[in-house]
Amino acid sequence: MIIPLSKSYPCSRGVPVIDRVDTSIFQLKYFAHCMSCNFCKDWCCWHGADVDVRNGDRILSKSNELEQYTGIPKEQWFDPEDTCEDDEAPGKLWLRTRVVSGACVFLDRSTRGCMLHSFSLQKNLDYHQLKPIVCAIFPLTFEEGLLIHADEVEEQSLVCAGQGLSLFEGVRNELLYYFGPEMIAELDHLAAIHHEIAL
Protein backbone atom coordinates (compact mmCIF):
# COMPACT_ATOMS: atom_id res chain seq x y z
CA MET A 1 0.00 0.00 0.00
CA ILE A 2 1.30 3.46 -0.91
CA ILE A 3 0.59 6.20 1.61
CA PRO A 4 1.47 9.90 1.68
CA LEU A 5 3.86 11.19 4.31
CA SER A 6 2.92 14.21 6.42
CA LYS A 7 5.31 16.40 4.41
CA SER A 8 7.96 16.22 1.72
CA TYR A 9 11.47 15.30 2.83
CA PRO A 10 14.32 16.46 0.59
CA CYS A 11 17.58 14.57 0.51
CA SER A 12 20.53 16.42 2.04
CA ARG A 13 21.76 16.81 -1.54
CA GLY A 14 18.55 18.57 -2.62
CA VAL A 15 17.02 15.65 -4.49
CA PRO A 16 15.40 13.22 -4.42
CA VAL A 17 12.46 14.48 -2.37
CA ILE A 18 10.37 11.79 -0.66
CA ASP A 19 6.66 12.40 -0.04
CA ARG A 20 5.18 8.89 -0.12
CA VAL A 21 6.13 5.42 1.06
CA ASP A 22 5.25 1.91 -0.04
CA THR A 23 4.41 0.22 3.27
CA SER A 24 5.71 -3.13 2.03
CA ILE A 25 9.18 -1.88 3.01
CA PHE A 26 8.17 -2.44 6.63
CA GLN A 27 7.15 -6.06 6.02
CA LEU A 28 9.46 -7.53 3.36
CA LYS A 29 12.69 -8.93 4.80
CA TYR A 30 16.24 -9.60 3.67
CA PHE A 31 19.65 -10.56 5.04
CA ALA A 32 20.82 -7.05 5.89
CA HIS A 33 24.27 -7.86 7.32
CA CYS A 34 25.83 -7.66 3.89
CA MET A 35 29.49 -8.27 4.68
CA SER A 36 28.59 -11.27 6.87
CA CYS A 37 26.78 -12.93 3.96
CA ASN A 38 28.46 -16.10 2.70
CA PHE A 39 26.02 -17.07 -0.04
CA CYS A 40 25.29 -14.15 -2.41
CA LYS A 41 28.75 -13.62 -3.96
CA ASP A 42 28.07 -9.85 -4.06
CA TRP A 43 25.05 -10.41 -6.28
CA CYS A 44 23.79 -6.83 -5.91
CA CYS A 45 27.03 -5.56 -7.50
CA TRP A 46 26.80 -7.68 -10.64
CA HIS A 47 24.91 -5.10 -12.69
CA GLY A 48 26.84 -1.89 -12.15
CA ALA A 49 25.37 1.13 -10.41
CA ASP A 50 23.67 4.43 -11.14
CA VAL A 51 25.83 7.34 -9.95
CA ASP A 52 24.53 10.90 -9.97
CA VAL A 53 26.80 13.23 -11.89
CA ARG A 54 27.83 15.20 -8.79
CA ASN A 55 28.79 11.96 -7.07
CA GLY A 56 30.71 11.09 -10.21
CA ASP A 57 32.62 14.35 -9.93
CA ARG A 58 33.53 13.53 -6.32
CA ILE A 59 34.80 10.12 -7.40
CA LEU A 60 36.86 11.66 -10.20
CA SER A 61 38.30 14.25 -7.80
CA LYS A 62 39.98 11.30 -6.03
CA SER A 63 41.06 9.69 -9.29
CA ASN A 64 44.80 9.60 -8.62
CA GLU A 65 44.38 7.82 -5.30
CA LEU A 66 41.50 5.66 -6.51
CA GLU A 67 43.40 4.51 -9.59
CA GLN A 68 46.23 3.40 -7.35
CA TYR A 69 43.84 1.74 -4.88
CA THR A 70 41.70 -0.06 -7.46
CA GLY A 71 44.31 -0.69 -10.12
CA ILE A 72 41.75 0.49 -12.69
CA PRO A 73 42.24 3.60 -14.89
CA LYS A 74 39.54 6.26 -14.43
CA GLU A 75 38.64 6.02 -18.12
CA GLN A 76 37.23 2.56 -17.38
CA TRP A 77 35.01 3.53 -14.45
CA PHE A 78 31.92 4.88 -16.22
CA ASP A 79 30.11 3.86 -19.39
CA PRO A 80 29.91 6.98 -21.59
CA GLU A 81 27.07 5.41 -23.58
CA ASP A 82 24.89 4.83 -20.53
CA THR A 83 23.66 8.12 -19.05
CA CYS A 84 20.15 9.18 -18.13
CA GLU A 85 18.64 12.60 -17.48
CA ASP A 86 16.46 12.63 -14.35
CA ASP A 87 15.21 15.43 -12.11
CA GLU A 88 15.62 13.12 -9.09
CA ALA A 89 19.39 12.88 -9.66
CA PRO A 90 21.61 15.55 -8.09
CA GLY A 91 22.89 17.40 -11.14
CA LYS A 92 19.90 15.98 -13.10
CA LEU A 93 21.99 13.22 -14.67
CA TRP A 94 22.78 9.62 -13.84
CA LEU A 95 26.03 8.02 -14.92
CA ARG A 96 26.50 4.26 -14.92
CA THR A 97 29.50 2.32 -13.69
CA ARG A 98 30.91 -0.16 -16.16
CA VAL A 99 30.31 -3.86 -15.77
CA VAL A 100 33.62 -5.71 -16.06
CA SER A 101 33.84 -9.51 -15.98
CA GLY A 102 30.27 -9.75 -14.80
CA ALA A 103 30.23 -7.15 -12.02
CA CYS A 104 30.56 -3.47 -11.20
CA VAL A 105 34.01 -2.11 -11.94
CA PHE A 106 34.28 -1.03 -8.29
CA LEU A 107 33.61 -4.51 -6.85
CA ASP A 108 36.63 -5.81 -4.97
CA ARG A 109 37.31 -9.22 -6.48
CA SER A 110 40.19 -9.97 -4.11
CA THR A 111 38.04 -9.85 -0.99
CA ARG A 112 34.45 -8.58 -1.15
CA GLY A 113 32.41 -5.42 -1.26
CA CYS A 114 32.63 -1.99 -2.80
CA MET A 115 36.07 -0.46 -3.32
CA LEU A 116 34.62 3.05 -3.06
CA HIS A 117 33.42 2.11 0.43
CA SER A 118 36.63 0.39 1.55
CA PHE A 119 38.80 3.15 0.07
CA SER A 120 36.83 5.74 2.04
CA LEU A 121 37.24 3.81 5.28
CA GLN A 122 40.96 3.39 4.68
CA LYS A 123 41.37 7.13 4.03
CA ASN A 124 39.14 8.09 6.99
CA LEU A 125 36.56 9.66 4.65
CA ASP A 126 32.78 9.56 4.92
CA TYR A 127 31.92 6.78 2.45
CA HIS A 128 28.68 8.56 1.53
CA GLN A 129 30.75 11.09 -0.40
CA LEU A 130 31.88 8.46 -2.91
CA LYS A 131 29.46 5.54 -2.64
CA PRO A 132 26.31 6.10 -4.74
CA ILE A 133 23.07 6.73 -2.85
CA VAL A 134 21.32 3.96 -4.79
CA CYS A 135 23.91 1.49 -3.47
CA ALA A 136 23.79 2.81 0.09
CA ILE A 137 19.99 2.46 0.42
CA PHE A 138 19.59 -0.77 -1.59
CA PRO A 139 17.29 -2.76 -1.55
CA LEU A 140 15.19 0.41 -1.24
CA THR A 141 15.02 2.99 -3.97
CA PHE A 142 13.01 6.08 -4.93
CA GLU A 143 10.73 6.80 -7.83
CA GLU A 144 8.98 10.15 -8.42
CA GLY A 145 8.94 10.92 -4.70
CA LEU A 146 8.01 7.41 -3.61
CA LEU A 147 10.24 5.42 -1.25
CA ILE A 148 9.86 1.85 -2.44
CA HIS A 149 11.61 -1.50 -2.70
CA ALA A 150 13.99 -2.00 -5.63
CA ASP A 151 12.72 -3.88 -8.69
CA GLU A 152 14.77 -6.92 -7.70
CA VAL A 153 12.53 -7.41 -4.66
CA GLU A 154 9.34 -7.41 -6.74
CA GLU A 155 10.94 -9.69 -9.35
CA GLN A 156 11.99 -12.06 -6.53
CA SER A 157 15.53 -12.08 -7.88
CA LEU A 158 17.07 -10.60 -4.73
CA VAL A 159 19.27 -13.45 -3.51
CA CYS A 160 19.14 -12.46 0.17
CA ALA A 161 15.37 -11.87 0.37
CA GLY A 162 13.04 -13.61 2.79
CA GLN A 163 14.61 -13.64 6.25
CA GLY A 164 16.25 -11.09 8.52
CA LEU A 165 15.45 -7.43 9.01
CA SER A 166 12.76 -5.52 7.16
CA LEU A 167 13.96 -3.56 4.14
CA PHE A 168 13.41 -0.38 6.14
CA GLU A 169 15.29 -1.59 9.22
CA GLY A 170 18.21 -2.72 7.10
CA VAL A 171 18.87 0.70 5.62
CA ARG A 172 17.37 2.89 8.35
CA ASN A 173 20.72 4.50 9.22
CA GLU A 174 21.41 5.27 5.56
CA LEU A 175 18.01 6.94 5.21
CA LEU A 176 18.76 8.89 8.38
CA TYR A 177 22.00 10.15 6.83
CA TYR A 178 20.36 11.28 3.60
CA PHE A 179 16.94 12.45 4.76
CA GLY A 180 17.34 13.36 8.44
CA PRO A 181 15.75 12.49 11.78
CA GLU A 182 12.32 13.96 11.09
CA MET A 183 11.62 11.61 8.19
CA ILE A 184 13.03 8.68 10.14
CA ALA A 185 10.75 9.47 13.09
CA GLU A 186 7.74 9.37 10.78
CA LEU A 187 8.90 6.14 9.15
CA ASP A 188 9.58 4.59 12.58
CA HIS A 189 6.00 5.43 13.56
CA LEU A 190 4.63 3.86 10.39
CA ALA A 191 6.83 0.81 10.86
CA ALA A 192 5.48 0.33 14.38
CA ILE A 193 1.88 0.57 13.14
CA HIS A 194 2.50 -2.00 10.42
CA HIS A 195 4.27 -4.29 12.87
CA GLU A 196 1.17 -4.22 15.09
CA ILE A 197 -1.06 -4.93 12.10
CA ALA A 198 1.12 -7.89 11.12
CA LEU A 199 0.72 -9.35 14.62
pLDDT digits (tens, 9 = 90+) for 61-95: 999 999 999 999 999 999 999 999 999 999 999 99
What confidence score (pLDDT) does residue 61 get? 98
In a domain, 197, yes or no: no
pLDDT-based confidence at residue 171 (cuts at 50, 70, 90)? very high
- Taking all residues of the chain, what is their mean pLDDT, rounded to a whole number? 92
Rounded Cα distance between 49 and 103, Å, is: 10
Rg value, the chain, Cα: 17
Residue 35 lies in a domain: no
- Mean pLDDT throughout 46-74? 97
> What is the number of structural domains in the chain?
1
Whole domain around residue 135: which residue ranges?
Answer: 46-140
Residue 190 has pLDDT above 80, yes or no: yes
Average pLDDT score over residue span 38-64:
90
Residues 6+ apart with CB under 8 A from 58: 129, 130
Give the mean pLDDT of 164-176: 96
The amino acid at residue 157 is S
Residue 176 lies in a domain: no
104 within domain boundaries: yes
**pLDDT above 60 (res 199):** no
Is 95 part of a structural domain of the chain? yes
In order of 7, 45, 52, the CA distances from 111 in angstroms are: 42, 13, 26
Q: Which of 34-43, 99-108, 136-145, 151-160 has the lowest mean pLDDT?
A: 34-43
Q: Is residue 22 in some structural domain? A: no
CA neighbor of 101 nearest in space, from 93, 110, 92: 110
Average pLDDT of span 20-34: 89
The answer to the question of residue 167 being in a domain is: no
